[in-house]
Amino acid sequence: MTLPIKFSPTGPEGWMTQADVPQETATFISGTPMGADHAYFSRANPKYRMGIWRSQPYTEFYDSYAADEFMVVLEGSVTLEAEGFRETYAKGDSFFVPKGFRGYWRQSEPMLKYYVIIE
């Protein structure tokens, strides 16, 4: 039986107190991409996953963002920059990064977000 899944803003029990681990980055620029990811749900076909993610501040560059991703910022903020574009997303903001985005992810403070990734 398939049932709805409730997302907690603190992740599953004990997740917020787990030690940070290195996070996967595109082209690393600066900072320390340490944090945690918990997928509440994933599916192989079509390939997508959704969950909660946290990370310490860092900056990276995407030559081509690997997937479509919808995000909701729960804590912190991030600034996305591309040629002719600069936008900051903070607590309470929702935003979408399309596959193929070329630009910078500049996170100057710890961040916590929900995400839905579609590859």
Q: What is the pLDDT of residues 17-76, one digit of tens each?
A: 999 999 887 888 998 889 999 999 999 998 999 999 999 999 999 999 999 999 999 999
Check pLDDT > 90 for residue 1: no
Of 64, 63, 69, the closest CA to residue 119 belongs to 69
Whole-number pLDDT of residue 54:
97
pTM of the complete model beyond 0.85: yes
Q: To which residue do tokens 């985005």 refer?
A: 101
Residues linked to residue 113 through DSSP beta bridges, in sequence order: 53, 73
